[in-house]
Structure 1
Amino acid sequence: MLINCVVYEGGTKLADIPVSEISEHILLPGCFVWVALHDAATEELDELQTEFGLHPLAVEDARHGHQRPKVEEYGSSLFVVLHLLESSEGNESVTSLGELNVFVGKNYVVSVRNRSKRGFVDVRERCEREPGLLRNGPGFVLYALMDAVVDRYFPIIDALEVELETIEQQIFTKGAARASIRRLYELKQRLTLLKHAVAPLLEGATKLHGGRVPQICAGSEEYFRDVVDHLSRINTSIDSIRDTIGTAIHVNLSMVTIEDGEVVKRLAAWASLFAVCTAFAGIWGMNFEHMPELKWRYGYAGAITLIATTCCYLYYRFRKAGWL
């Protein structure tokens, strides 16, 4: 679905135009066209491929989706894939994974947003408020889109850190170890989604500010360096959280083992008490002929007293040792 198709000249907006008039405006000196699509149909991508001369391999990637974040050069044009991580309202935990495909040439920008509800109207407004920077052309628009996507990662990483801290506070709560392990694995899965979005993009974004910078990005290198800096910070935080999660999982598993050991000790203590009763009952239940105590007038009372005394002593010792 077409969101908008706008032509810019010298950093200012000229007009909204239909797709059929794109070829007329991109031939004008100092002009470039910015087209935004949402869940684009095959026919729309084919039409834009014809209008801008987009590389067929890049169009195929955008059509099929589910691509790894990347920055690829096709001659004098760029094709950039970014992952869009979104969360439900009031909850920063990752709930869906979208994708933004950006085609960039010397006189055009085509952004295709897939499986995502949150648009980039604010990015267009920001660019139009800064005509001095927008004068740099499609390269600055690419930076603005990448910067917006990366900035949306920060609330997610903050939410993951807060959730991890909450779980850590409950690690030594009795009986919470098994539930904590499940929450930690769920947290690790969401962190993995973020890692898959950040790490490849960090690798690709470094091409846009150092070494042989694509001509399209000339004049905007320092802005792309800022994006790389943000990605590096997020990537470092991800690695730190992942290490902490691994440590927390080991601690929780140790707590489960300790709790199981406590149960085993209690069962062993009670089994010992019953074993004493069973041992005495087994001895006096053998009915041998020469067992003087069996004919003793106070034999029954004495046996019960001995069993009770022994059990009480063992109970005291187990209680003192912390087994009961």
Structure 2
Amino acid sequence: MIYREQTGDSEQVDCARPDGGCRAVLDRLADLKRGEFGWIHLDGPDQAELEELSGHLGLHPLAVEDAVQAHQRPKRERYGDVLAVALRTLLYIEDGSEVETGEVMVFLGPRFALTARHGPADPAPEAERRLRTDPGTLRFGPAAVLHAVLDVVVDSYNDAAVQVRADLTDLERCVFSSARDDVTEEIYSLKREVVEFRDAIQPLVPVVREFAASRDGWPEGVLPYFRDVADHAHRADTEVRSLDELLNSVLDAHLARVGTWQNDDMRRISAWAAILAIPTMVAGVYGMNFSHMPELSWTYGYPLAIGAMAVAAGLLYRAFRRNGWL
């Protein structure tokens, strides 16, 4: 995409890739006029493709390696005239309450922006739409692309935080409901997703703050835009920290309830064992078949023994019911 900074117009350049190359884009970048810059977006680029571009755009080999491997924490690095920024993308899958992460590397040069995306989420289409909607930001040059991509990524963090909050609320209802459902696995699964979420947002917050007070030669007019993104990133970070702490509390509360359920079960078992112990003891005594035993030959001995066992068991049952054991 070739942008004209003053008018906000853009020109789409098809990128045919013979032998892994991108000659059409490189030729167009070489013909850029004053007030124009190019944005190249690559989806899952390989080593050869980025190495070819790096020779024309002046990308550092370490930056190319980071863009290919796609296992970087959010960071910013400057290699001469090129600024390299690593971002983590998020895609929240509502059906399974899962957070899938990816990565976007953004390279900014004097007259170009290069984004390399790995993973399921692609912020480039939405970033391009926002640039078209607000073409006035194009006067900031390639920094406008970085702002648009950052803005889309951080907004996705806030959207994912809202969805995680809803899932957490559902888990809270399950934990404190009267039903005895074991949701330990669901809580732990959501906790794992929040940790992955936290690892994506927390390192990004100081990086965005640096852009909000940048000394990279950017015009002063672009700084408020980055401060706005920094505020959104701080809000997302605060929300994720809150979700993490709430999940710990919900897990502790659920484990406490599970322990209470186990204690209730043990009390019920103990109460019934005590109730059954009396008839078992009496029947055991009379089952020893001694010749001389009380009331052994009495006509009403059997009904009396059965009645005594029933009365004793009934009294114990009543006592346990009053104490809440049954």
Structure 1 length-normalised TM:
0.90
Separation (CA, whole Å) in 1 of partners of 2:137 and 2:215: 18
Check conservation: 2:45, 2:116, Cα contact below 8 A: yes
Once the two structures are overlaid, the 10-residue window that deviates more, 299-308 or 214-223, is 214-223
> Are positions 1:78 and 2:83 aligned together?
yes
Which aligned pairs between 1:19-168 and structure 2 lie closer than 5 A?
A: 19-22=25-28, 24-26=30-32, 28-88=33-93, 91=95, 93-116=97-120, 118-168=122-172
Displacement of 1:177 after TM fit? 4.5
Which aligned pairs between 1:1-324 and structure 2 lie closer than 5 A?
A: 5-13=1-9, 15-17=11-13, 18-22=24-28, 24-26=30-32, 28-88=33-93, 91=95, 93-116=97-120, 118-179=122-183, 181-210=184-213, 213-216=215-218, 219-324=221-326
Displacement of 1:119 after TM fit? 4.8
Check conservation: 1:76, 1:215, Cα contact below 8 A: no
Displacement of 1:121 after TM fit? 2.2
Q: Deviations over 1:30-72 (max 9, x none)?
A: 3321111111132221121011101111111001112111122
Once the two structures are overlaid, the 10-residue window that deviates more, 66-75 or 280-289, is 280-289
| Structure 1 unaligned blocks of 5 or more | none
Gap change, CA 1:188 and 1:217, over 3 Å in 2:
farther
Check conservation: 2:104, 2:116, Cα contact below 8 A: yes
| Structure 2 counterpart of 1:25, one-letter code | D
Q: Deviations over 1:117-154 (max 9, x none)?
A: 54522322322343332011011211111001111122
Gap change, CA 1:316 and 1:93, over 3 Å in 2:
closer
| Structure 1 counterpart of 2:26, one-letter code | S
| Structure 2 unaligned blocks of 5 or more | 14-23
Displacement of 1:9 after TM fit? 4.5
| Structure 2 counterpart of 1:52, one-letter code | L
Structure 2 length-normalised TM:
0.89
Q: Deviations over 1:82-131 (max 9, x none)?
A: 1111134x659444222111001121100111122545223223223433
Gap change, CA 1:273 and 1:236, over 3 Å in 2:
same
Once the two structures are overlaid, the 10-residue window that deviates more, 278-287 or 161-170, is 278-287
